[in-house]
């Protein structure tokens, strides 16, 4: 079994040839029907690096299969370009949106990405140009490692042509586009917003207190623009988040922000009001309340028994957090920031609303 392009490379023989269908999942059912027979599944390069290997291995007992991997397209491309693979970001974009590469767009970075088909090359170069990285050098590899191999290189903004599948691309990032910071506290303009947002300095402190770790799941109650949940997701590719937002327009904006930042596959947005919207959700590892603070919502959050961070800017919210700190302990922090602004012909300090933050680790 395998794609027709692989089957065509095999010399004639007595073995039965079965083309793996599209979508991929249909082929798994066909493979199940061949139980008890000797079956060879053909896949490009190393099937356990963004390939079919792990999917098949999870489906069958270890005694039912053996793998014979070859060099991956990442290894073959890096070998041609002379790139150190350990310093190169490798992404499987053949079954994921191009925007998944957003967090990796930084000057001088090297990326190798697999692509869905030849038409996806134009999608890739268009995305790089639209994000301000049209000066990036893109090297397109078609049929890499096979007899029909072809290599084409050029700047993303001007690279044209027709490309055949299978295809991958190596990218040397260049241009004046805005790169995401590797620290907490992305620029406010990273997120589309109607003004309802935890601003950068407070957000940096909040993320530091939430302390995201690999594989952890966050609840963000009162999402606004989703900036806290989105930065949580940007912190590590294995994190997940659920954002609860009562307004439809803001919920839609959060979803679009997640798409633009390439983290939409790990975010769930729920239009609803806490605490009612929390009833059917799996227990998180950490919980943040940034909007819609009330005693019932705070009680429901405390009952989860997880890391908890709550920000309040109103006197009523401050009263709730002061009482929660007295009853449940934790840390109570008052964050007061001021910015220099014109004062006549000179400058003075303009104070922002202070934020009271209560955090608790059970």
Q: Where are the domains of the chain?
A: 4-64, 73-172, 188-360
Tell how far CA 281 is from the center of its chain: 21
pTM above 0.85, yes or no: yes
3-state secondary structure of 300: helix
Contact by Cβ (8 Å): 52, 58: no
pLDDT along the chain (362 residues), means of 10: 90 91 91 93 91 93 94 96 97 94 96 96 98 98 92 97 93 97 94 92 97 98 96 97 97 97 96 93 96 95 97 97 98 96 96 96 92
In terms of Cα–Cα distance, which of 305, 306, 231 is closest to 266?
231
Question: Which overall architecture, per CATH, does domain 188-360 show?
Answer: 3-Layer(aba) Sandwich (3.40)
Cα separation, 18 vs 40, in Å, equals 10
The per-residue pLDDT for 23 is 87
The per-residue pLDDT for 280 is 86
Contact by Cβ (8 Å): 189, 214: no
Q: Is 183 exposed, middle or buried (0-12, 13-18, 19+ CB in 10 A)?
A: exposed
Question: For the domain bounded by 73-172, which CATH number is listed?
Answer: 3.30.950.10
Cα separation, 78 vs 56, in Å, equals 27
The per-residue pLDDT for 22 is 86
The helix or strand, by DSSP H or E, that contains position 207, with its residue range, turns out to be: helix 200-210
Q: Please provide the DSSP assignment of 208-235 as one string.
A: HHH---TT-EEEEES-TT-HHHHHHHHH
The per-residue pLDDT for 274 is 95
Contact by Cβ (8 Å): 46, 183: no
Q: Tokens 């294995």 — which residue?
A: 238
Radius of gyration of the chain (CA): 25
Non-local (6+) Cβ contacts of 312 within 8 A are 293, 318, 320, 321, 355, 356, 357, 358
The per-residue pLDDT for 44 is 85
The helix or strand, by DSSP H or E, that contains position 341, with its residue range, turns out to be: strand 338-343
Non-local (6+) Cβ contacts of 281 within 8 A are 219, 242, 270
Cα separation, 292 vs 316, in Å, equals 11
Query: Would the CATH topology of 73-172 be identical to that of 188-360?
Result: no
Tell how far CA 275 is from the center of its chain: 27
Cα separation, 168 vs 229, in Å, equals 31
φ, ψ of residue 69 in degrees (nearest 5): -70, 155
């Amino acid at each position: 079994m395998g794609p027709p392009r692989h089957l065509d490379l095999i010399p004639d023989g007595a073995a039965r040839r079965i083309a793996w269908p599209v979508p991929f999942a249909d082929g798994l059912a066909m493979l199940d029907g061949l139980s008890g027979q000797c079956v060879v599944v053909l896949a490009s390069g190393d099937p356990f690096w963004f390939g079919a290997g792990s999917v098949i291995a999870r489906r069958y007992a270890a005694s039912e299969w053996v793998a014979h991997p070859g060099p991956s397209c990442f290894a073959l491309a890096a070998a041609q370009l002379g790139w150190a693979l350990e310093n190169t970001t490798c992404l499987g974009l053949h079954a994921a949106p191009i925007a998944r590469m957003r967090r990796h767009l930084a000057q001088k970075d090297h990326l190798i990405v697999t692509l869905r088909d030849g038409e996806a090359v134009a999608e890739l170069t268009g995305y790089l140009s639209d994000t301000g990285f049209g000066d990036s050098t893109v090297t397109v590899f078609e049929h890499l490692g096979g007899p029909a191999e072809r290599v084409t290189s050029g700047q993303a903004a001007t690279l044209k042509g027709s490309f055949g599948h299978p295809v991958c691309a190596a990218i040397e990032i260049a241009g004046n586009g805005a790169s995401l910071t590797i620290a907490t506290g992305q620029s406010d303009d990273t997120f589309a917003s109607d003004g309802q947002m935890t601003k950068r300095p407070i957000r940096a402190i909040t993320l530091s207190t939430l302390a995201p770790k690999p594989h952890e799941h966050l609840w963000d109650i009162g999402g606004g623009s989703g900036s806290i949940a989105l930065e949580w997701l940007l912190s590590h590719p294995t994190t997940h988040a659920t954002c609860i937002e009562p307004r439809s327009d803001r919920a839609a904006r959060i979803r679009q922000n997640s798409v633009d930042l390439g983290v939409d596959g790990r975010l769930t947005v729920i239009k609803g009001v806490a605490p009612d919207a929390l009833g059917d959700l799996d227990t998180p590892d950490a919980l943040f309340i940034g909007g819609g603070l009330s005693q019932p919502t705070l009680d429901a959050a405390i009952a989860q028994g997880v890391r908890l961070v709550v920000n309040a800017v109103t006197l009523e919210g401050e009263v709730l957090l002061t009482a929660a700190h007295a009853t449940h302990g934790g840390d109570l922090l008052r964050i007061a920031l001021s910015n220099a602004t014109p004062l006549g012909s000179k400058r003075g300090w303009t104070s922002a609303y202070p934020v009271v933050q209560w955090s608790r680790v059970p």
